[in-house]
Amino acid sequence: MSDNEPTAEVMPTDQDNPTVTPWTETSQRWSEEGTTFLSTVRSDGRSHTVPVGAVLMDDAFYFTSGQDTRKDKNLAANANCTLATHRDNYDLAVEGTVSRVTEPALLAQLADVYTAAGWPVTVQGDAFDAPFSAPTTGPAPYTVYRVTPTVAFAFGTTEDTVSNCTRYRF
C-alpha cells in the first residue's frame, strides 16, 4: 500500500493480550492465491455472493464481471460491496464501494497482472476479453471494477492468531 495506510485497531476479544495485525501483513495475505468471494445487494435487499478473481494493487482491490450478470446489475444499482477470503490462518474481509475501471493504462496494467496469474486477458476498449473465464464471471466482455475500501477486517483463526483480530479504517 502507499501513503494511504489505514488506521488499525484491535477488535474486542476475550483473548489475553490482543494485538493489532499490521496492514502490511494483511495486504500481503490478500496477494496470496486463493478464492475471494464478492457480496452485493439485489434491488429487493437480498444478498448475492459469488467467487471472483480479485487482486490487490496499490490502494485498491480489483475484480471483473461479465456484463449483464447479476453482480453487474447489482453494482449498477448499489455500489457497496464486500470481498471476503481465508488466507494463511486469517479470515479477511473488506467493505467498500466500486467504480468501473476505464483508464487504458490501468486496464493494461491489470491485464498484465491477471495474465501473470493464469487468465490471459486482453484489453478491448474499456473492458477485458479472454478465451475463457470462471463460470460465475459470465461471458465476455468483462467489466473491470475497482473497490475503494472503507473498512477491512482480519480475524485470526488459529490458536496462534486468534488474539490478532484487527479492524482497518481507510
Which residue range(s) make up the domain with 88?
7-101+135-169
Classify residue 40: in a domain, yes or no.
yes
Classify residue 42: in a domain, yes or no.
yes
How far apart (Å, rounded) are the C-alpha atoms in residues 90 and 104? 35
Instruction: Specify the CATH number for the domain of residue 44.
Output: 2.30.110.10
Given a contact cutoff of 8 angstroms between Cβ atoms, the answer to whether 56 and 113 are in contact is no
**pTM (2 d.p.):** 0.92
How far apart (Å, rounded) are the C-alpha atoms in residues 55 and 57? 6
- The neighbour count for residue 119, using CB atoms within 10 Å, is 19
pLDDT in tens for each of the 170 residues of the chain? Answer: 456 789 999 998 787 788 999 999 999 999 888 999 999 999 999 999 999 999 999 879 999 999 999 999 999 999 999 999 999 999 999 999 999 999 999 999 999 999 999 999 999 999 999 999 887 787 899 999 999 999 999 999 999 899 999 999 99
Alpha helices in the chain (DSSP H): 23-30, 70-77, 104-116
Given a contact cutoff of 8 angstroms between Cβ atoms, the answer to whether 107 and 22 are in contact is no
3-state SS, residue 24? helix
Nearest to 66 by CA among 134, 137, 126: 137
Classify residue 110: in a domain, yes or no.
no
Confidence (pLDDT) at 167: 98
